[in-house]
Structure 1
């Protein structure tokens, strides 16, 4: 039975809040959190501040709300977030989330980012593919070994090396302020960011995948808060929110500086294909060869700790819902699939992850907002069904439009895109799901609040007849 009273009635200490905040920071801050803000800065140039404002909503505020959604609804994972829509939807949503932050895109990126930043620049071009093959095999072999043994080695190493990594990162920040590469306000702006920098920054925040990760890892944080004695749901939510604000504020600060630094790099470098290249250029500019090698080593360890968390969470969740397959078998399949995907390279992974994120993020956003506000309507399945149902078609259109040209520029792709832009408001901003979702919410809430009156009238009519 759910606890309704706290086991610990005393306020948590600053140290306890620091522990929870550090856990949240560690769960959210991974490979993509470094490369995408820098790339955003290069794309936005002089408009970096407006782009950052949009980026912070989906890369900072939304992940915080995703953790709160787990706490408010007392969920045990992603499955429970989608449960008001039935077990089929809940299971499908869970699989898609784990596949996206897992073997298809998120986990392979933990190997490709340190490779593209640290190893690839040192190799001849002809050895790029072989180098990635060997590096990713060793990387996911290590992730499998640590997770298989269920060892605390990587956690212990992370406690030492992650702070060192952050110290080096902040040293780059300091150098960037003391000796900036250029003036951010004077840098060129790419075409997409000339007039829609806020909304493009908003969409770029999808790439961090942190809102999806928050749904997958939120239960870890909520459980940790319970272990500190805050078992009453309202108190648990308050502690989670407060610790979440501290953690996401720290991440938000790092994002702002990284975006600014990315824009200043345009004084010396062209816009790169991805943030991994830009990060490598920036580190080499400020710290030279030795600093680059040291930071690349620490980045590899940091990404490895993230990979261990991802593969373990994937295996645990899938073993829970598909118990005939053991935890360790799921773990092996996860690591093998991530290894295979990683060898397509960072650019390919980013290109093909974008359509899935454009499809999943509208669902994630409406489910997060519905979960956080669910006490207002008692998690009524009708409200969920109407909001999610109205969001589905725009999300599908956005997915098709975000595919690489082989799909998006095909006759079918262009036909859908033309229809989307003529019919749905804000389609040119990538926000065409907003109006349908609001319509669904108005209809759903209206039905929920007016249903008692309708039921009463129906009962009266039945009695009279």
Structure 2
């Protein structure tokens, strides 16, 4: 059985691997725009940024394999393609986004350096951590995460203590707005990537967590602790944005990413004085760095397994992922968000249904059910993606007939119907074969 110290290190590591650039920047502006309805926005945000990701960790605790195991019931080909797509997305968008956010918020304001130098140094350090694979979880869990949490609690605590009345709400559907903003944290995708990373990391531990049940218990408890931490921090950042954000001037003509950065910087400086700028710089750098390390290491782990536990495959993948991070990291944070959103509308729903199906009992999640639900989700996600890229009146007329499609959630009810019908069909066919 594992010790409490191992549980805390694993939980802290999980929290830090989840908590990256979007997790820090999105909640305050979300709260600012939600105003007096910040509580309802928080509920929506928690669904896609906390509940679904932690369910994903629970699924990993059950499967104790790789990301490939998440989709293999659909088909081996589907699972392989899904894994490659998710890992490419991870190293092409959220990983470079961490470097871009670090440069724009922490490095450039202080030193005025070129983003290329920031990306080169940033991903060189990421590569050093990733190549020392066996030590990553301990370093992040023991040292970096406590520092991140302390800084966050300082900003939230002092901000709320000095808070005033919230702004009027600007969202028509606060819960839906919170759900969609939660997409941009990448946390559901992060769950399938980070969970696999944690499984591999436990193999490097010197303690005995080899037994299936012991490892399952450890991962589940660590996931719940990390989820509780994310809940507290997200709710705190959203409420600080709603209340203390009224003290900060936010230029609505700026892009969302600049509004997010300026609001968080303003809150930090107002709460902590000139020291707040330093705190924010260190905070964003650490939060982004730990996430980038987890993404690159998780991707390298997968391709090492794909090539029969080849260390050369691990090293080559890590180097290529870091080079991709340097290249894409030259884009500003807003450009990366614009590229990311339509991709998220496509891959996020599939990831969510795979996570949920993998935690259900086997009798409710047969291969037939997996295939029916995933195919249905894929089909009904297409209008969301097309509507974002190239909206048209004919497409709008079509989506009017699909419940929740106007909120980019048109896949939910069809997926639920497919789940029920597939289970009914499977039960009926089983009873006939038995008789």
TM-score, length of structure 1 as denominator length:
0.84
Residues 252-271 of structure 1 aligned to structure 2 (within 5 Å): 252-264=231-243, 265-270=245-250, 271=252
Structure 1 gaps of 5+ residues are 1-7, 458-465
Q: Does 36-45 or 155-164 show the bigger shift? A: 155-164
The change in CA–CA distance for 1:233 and 1:159 in structure 2 (over 3 A counts) is closer
Instruction: Tell me which residue corresponds to 2:149.
Output: 166
Structure 2 counterpart of 1:210, from 187, 200, 211:
187
How many pairs were matched up? 425
CA contact (8 A) 1:63 1:211 kept: yes
Structure 1 counterpart of 2:95, from 98, 107, 112:
107
Equivalent position SS for 1:189:
coil
The change in CA–CA distance for 1:89 and 1:415 in structure 2 (over 3 A counts) is farther
Cα distance in structure 2, aligned partners of 1:162 and 1:351? 29
Larger Rg: 1 or 2? 1
CA-CA distance at 1:319 after TM superposition:
3.0
The change in CA–CA distance for 1:250 and 1:112 in structure 2 (over 3 A counts) is same
CA-CA distance at 1:230 after TM superposition:
5.7
> CA RMSD for the aligned pairs?
2.6
Residues 87-111 of structure 1 deviation map (CA, whole Å, 9 limit, x = unaligned): 2110111112112222x21101211
Cα distance in structure 2, aligned partners of 1:152 and 1:21? 15
Instruction: Tell me which residue corresponds to 2:378.
Output: 392
CA contact (8 A) 1:33 1:208 kept: yes
Instruction: Tell me which residue corresponds to 1:365.
Output: 352
Structure 1 counterpart of 2:177, from 182, 185, 200:
200
Instruction: Tell me which residue corresponds to 2:291.
Output: 306
Residues 333-386 of structure 1 deviation map (CA, whole Å, 9 limit, x = unaligned): 111111111111101111111111111111111111111114234x52111111
Cα distance in structure 1, aligned partners of 2:42 and 2:199? 29
Q: Does 440-449 or 148-157 show the bigger shift? A: 148-157
Cα distance in structure 2, aligned partners of 1:163 and 1:75? 27
The change in CA–CA distance for 1:434 and 1:365 in structure 2 (over 3 A counts) is same
The change in CA–CA distance for 1:416 and 1:77 in structure 2 (over 3 A counts) is farther
CA contact (8 A) 1:225 1:240 kept: no
Equivalent position SS for 2:274:
helix
Cα distance in structure 1, aligned partners of 2:214 and 2:415? 30
Instruction: Tell me which residue corresponds to 1:120.
Output: 108
Instruction: Tell me which residue corresponds to 1:64.
Output: 54
Equivalent position SS for 1:269:
coil
The change in CA–CA distance for 1:164 and 1:146 in structure 2 (over 3 A counts) is closer
The change in CA–CA distance for 1:223 and 1:156 in structure 2 (over 3 A counts) is closer
Residues 280-312 of structure 1 deviation map (CA, whole Å, 9 limit, x = unaligned): 222122233333124313432342232222212
1:50 pairs with 2:29: no
CA contact (8 A) 1:386 1:444 kept: yes
CA contact (8 A) 1:24 1:244 kept: yes
Instruction: Tell me which residue corresponds to 1:250.
Output: 229
CA contact (8 A) 1:391 1:436 kept: yes
Cα distance in structure 2, aligned partners of 1:229 and 1:89? 34
CA contact (8 A) 2:28 2:238 kept: yes
Equivalent position SS for 2:20:
coil
Equivalent position SS for 2:422:
helix
Q: Does 341-350 or 133-142 show the bigger shift? A: 133-142
Residues 372-431 of structure 1 deviation map (CA, whole Å, 9 limit, x = unaligned): 114234x521111111111112212212233xxxx33xxxx3156314422211112222
Cα distance in structure 1, aligned partners of 2:77 and 2:137? 36
Instruction: Tell me which residue corresponds to 1:462.
Output: none
1:283 pairs with 2:268: yes
CA contact (8 A) 1:161 1:301 kept: yes
Structure 2 counterpart of 1:137, from 117, 120, 136:
120
Instruction: Tell me which residue corresponds to 1:5.
Output: none
The change in CA–CA distance for 1:225 and 1:120 in structure 2 (over 3 A counts) is closer
